[in-house]
Amino acid sequence: MLDINRIKEVIPHRYPFLLVDKVLEIVEGKKAVGIKNVTFNEPFFLGHFPDYPVMPGVLIVEALAQVGGIVMSNGESSNHKLGFLTGIDNCRFKRQVKPGDKLNLVFDVTRIKGQIVKGKGVATVNNELVCEAEIMFAFSSI
């Protein structure tokens, strides 16, 4: 399990763009399960939408991608490597995510070829499907 401090050591994202609060399970290079606690004070709710707050779908996909980056971190600091998003396929949204929801994020690696990693991300709330997508990254030294 990784808490927020450990997550910040592993991936370079920071507030307001760090979208994973905790990692419950990690099998290095294969799978990770994370959580995003969605609260009303998230900055995106100021404009999306003021009278009907809904988490933007693109941020749900970003949260899944961050869990994918954690999977590939090997539990070590990634100060020397960044994962750049190179593709999103078969992305579907099934339910809205609202303040108070606990977003469960699962990323399963399906293929690794050199610096390219592809996996399937699934987001749920209360075991109800929110989003699923195939996500691809290119990891690069900086």
One-letter amino acid at 32 equals A
User: With the C-alpha atoms ordered 46, 49, 54, 56, is the resulting torsion angle positive or negative?
Assistant: negative
* Residues taking part in catalysis: 48
